[in-house]
Structure 1
């Protein structure tokens, strides 16, 4: 019996409709062919006509940008790069094999440079110099929310990963239990992918590694352990230059660079298809944080009792403490989750001109209706979460500043969309 394999899509299967039916809804991984990205400007700018890295162009264009690398195996007398140019110099002479530039916000840096040169042209600069977001991942609630320049939001979930030949990303699950998509620009990688059903078997390995101050390297596993996880559904695939891999929500994965160096363009994203899973992951983290600082709650309750203040004397401070801990742990918390949801709902079922106007102040392009599921589907995904959140024993909506108003607006948008 042959091992299961990651689906490799044909060019005709690269439409949003096909992707949604066969991979978003069932939450299964796939590899897109080069045709998905063949028109990206970076392919002719970052690579020469033979498909090799254009070292000179990369240094001229981005060399002055500051970078922070991790070093998996420091080499004596090998300098720590402080700029992209210094990292390129190491790699160009064959050194720096253990240095890894991860989560580099290069698209955001290009956007900022475009805005400095000509106000309002940052998005065009990214499109003309780097890439245009494929339709299959354009329905992205994270980047659509965080990309609102008019609201002063500064985050971005689009990254460049550039790693030496001896680097890897340890076993992990993506932030917010989101999707991720990664296009290999140069070199190749090996991916180990684990469906959510493997999570109970993986957690003890991760915890044990963390206790030792290390991480899980799937490439180093003995054959018997790899065979055991294959039997549980683990998939292993090698990704070549030009291919784009889709990693579903909740799938743990480990990524190993096979060439020196490698370069990829990634981003994390989420939408209505996985909103219940994202909500559950946030609820789990909130519960974990509550348990971790339960002694603080006891102190606040006792202080309020002595002062005769009752629940109002401790509950708000307690909920703000938990919310702050979740924010530090996860990078967001309930207020951001619901504001993101409100932002997306307000962009549904509105005129094209309204979408275009809102997109003018955003780093994210407008999302046309044809690359989103139906309004009814989105409402059906959001409504149960609102009901569940309002019924939670913790009543965060009552104690966290402004969250009650956000939920009222979410309710209003759901009513508008249901009419």
Structure 2
């Protein structure tokens, strides 16, 4: 195990316990790389997506299985706000492009657009999620648990891209955790810890570049904000903490599986980020408040969904759903360490919601939701006290 103030590496075959990972990584909100491939070596994707005894991608298998699916593709040569321009194509068309890149290698990359297939909901699109297994360290996942149970769009993604494809500098959606597992290939990550994001903006301005390495004094800047690089290889898994700025480059042809998620360790951060985003929206359209009257909250939530990715009702639904699930789990005696902090965390957030006029005065339905959540939490807390006694 190797240490850094904002980064830890588990390099041997001896993996940490869940409790150790919870306390030393997630609660401290530091990055973590699992160099041991034991977490991924039995995945179907690690066996079937790689050609036998080589480091080559098994394109024939992938096309055979997913060729007719429509996929989101980003042009790394074209900027679009803080991302890249996006289009769609059939997966087999994307593979044709990629095979041509591999055939011509550097010449193609230097003379044509670099296309990156990312944010692909492969498991949902293909109705098949058996190509990987969820590592135990990431099982406490309020966001995707809710999405799966409600059968709505999840936050589980597959990334596929040639050497040189990249994701610009960004903070993950909602300020969530994320984890990324390389099926094949190598990524280079540059991370700026959350405590130094404001410092970075003070040094270079609020509008951040797509790529910090393009700045003439990037080495000096990265040092001042305690930035660090991580090289992630095939079979390795990286945990990305909440609020860290990061940019990612594929330095080899690479396929990875990624999740965005949150749980008891960072739920309070997600709530704060949601409230800050709502405040920004309210300030931006404050001059319309008197005209909108009863439609004010509805308009704020619509803009909030576009601006932040979720609104107040969505967040409240997640909390209520997880409380209900934990109550059922507690009653069935399925209560492991990974869940024992949920009661305290969810109760704390509920207390903040009740004191927040942006929730309790929104509309009658949300107030009913709050009351239902209160009753569920009381049951859950009572159940826990009985077990403790």
After TM superposition, the score normalised by the length of structure 2 is 0.86
Corresponding position of 1:59: 63
Q: Classify 1:159/1:25 alpha carbon distance in 2 versus 1 (closer, same or farther; 3 Å).
A: same
- Is the CA contact 1:136–1:371 (under 8 Å) kept in the aligned structure 2? no
Give CA-to-partner distance per residue, 1:346-375, whole Å, 9 cap, x none. Answer: 1114358979xxxxxxxxxxxx6336241x
Partners of 1:290 and 1:81 lie apart in 2 by 34
Three-state SS of the structure 2 residue aligned to 1:415 is: helix
Corresponding position of 1:387: 351
Partners of 1:26 and 1:399 lie apart in 2 by 34
Partners of 1:399 and 1:4 lie apart in 2 by 42
Corresponding position of 2:100: 93
Unaligned runs of 5+ residues in structure 2 are 79-86, 102-107, 383-389
Shift of 1:225: 2.9
Q: Which has the higher contact order (CA 8 A, sep 6+)?
A: 1
Instruction: Give the one of 281, 289, 303 matched to 1:289.
Output: 281
Corresponding position of 1:191: 189
Partners of 2:256 and 2:322 lie apart in 1 by 28
Give CA-to-partner distance per residue, 1:27-64, whole Å, 9 cap, x none. Answer: 11111121111111111110122232111101111111
Partners of 2:339 and 2:223 lie apart in 1 by 33
Shift of 1:284: 0.1
Corresponding position of 2:159: 161
Shift of 1:184: 1.0
Shift of 1:110: 2.5
Q: Classify 1:340/1:218 alpha carbon distance in 2 versus 1 (closer, same or farther; 3 Å).
A: same
After TM superposition, the score normalised by the length of structure 1 is 0.80
Give CA-to-partner distance per residue, 1:267-320, whole Å, 9 cap, x none. Answer: 1010011111110000000000000101111334xxxxxxxxxxxxx2x32111
1:220 and 2:214 correspond: yes
Taking the TM superposition and a 5 Å limit, the aligned residue runs for 1:20-31 are: 20-31=22-33
Three-state SS of the structure 2 residue aligned to 1:350 is: helix
Q: Classify 1:65/1:371 alpha carbon distance in 2 versus 1 (closer, same or farther; 3 Å).
A: farther
Instruction: Give the one of 259, 274, 292 matched to 2:266.
Output: 274
Three-state SS of the structure 2 residue aligned to 1:184 is: strand
Q: Classify 1:5/1:385 alpha carbon distance in 2 versus 1 (closer, same or farther; 3 Å).
A: closer
Shift of 1:182: 0.3
Instruction: Give the one of 353, 357, 365 matched to 1:402.
Output: 365
Corresponding position of 2:376: 413
Partners of 1:321 and 1:161 lie apart in 2 by 34
Partners of 2:327 and 2:136 lie apart in 1 by 18
Partners of 2:171 and 2:361 lie apart in 1 by 31
Partners of 1:330 and 1:66 lie apart in 2 by 26
- Is the CA contact 2:199–2:225 (under 8 Å) kept in the aligned structure 1? no
Give CA-to-partner distance per residue, 1:225-255, whole Å, 9 cap, x none. Answer: 3333324321211111111100011111111
Unaligned runs of 5+ residues in structure 1 are 75-79, 112-124, 210-214, 301-313, 356-367
Corresponding position of 1:253: 246
Give CA-to-partner distance per residue, 1:169-194, whole Å, 9 cap, x none. Answer: 11111111110000011211110111
Shift of 1:141: 0.4
1:102 and 2:118 correspond: yes
Partners of 2:47 and 2:146 lie apart in 1 by 31
Three-state SS of the structure 2 residue aligned to 1:272 is: coil
Q: Classify 1:21/1:351 alpha carbon distance in 2 versus 1 (closer, same or farther; 3 Å).
A: closer
Corresponding position of 1:242: 235
Three-state SS of the structure 2 residue aligned to 1:19 is: helix
Corresponding position of 1:208: 207
Corresponding position of 1:348: 326
Partners of 2:331 and 2:346 lie apart in 1 by 25
How many pairs are equivalent? 359
Q: Classify 1:353/1:52 alpha carbon distance in 2 versus 1 (closer, same or farther; 3 Å).
A: farther
Partners of 1:413 and 1:291 lie apart in 2 by 34
Larger % of strand: which?
2
Three-state SS of the structure 2 residue aligned to 1:216 is: coil
Three-state SS of the structure 2 residue aligned to 1:192 is: strand
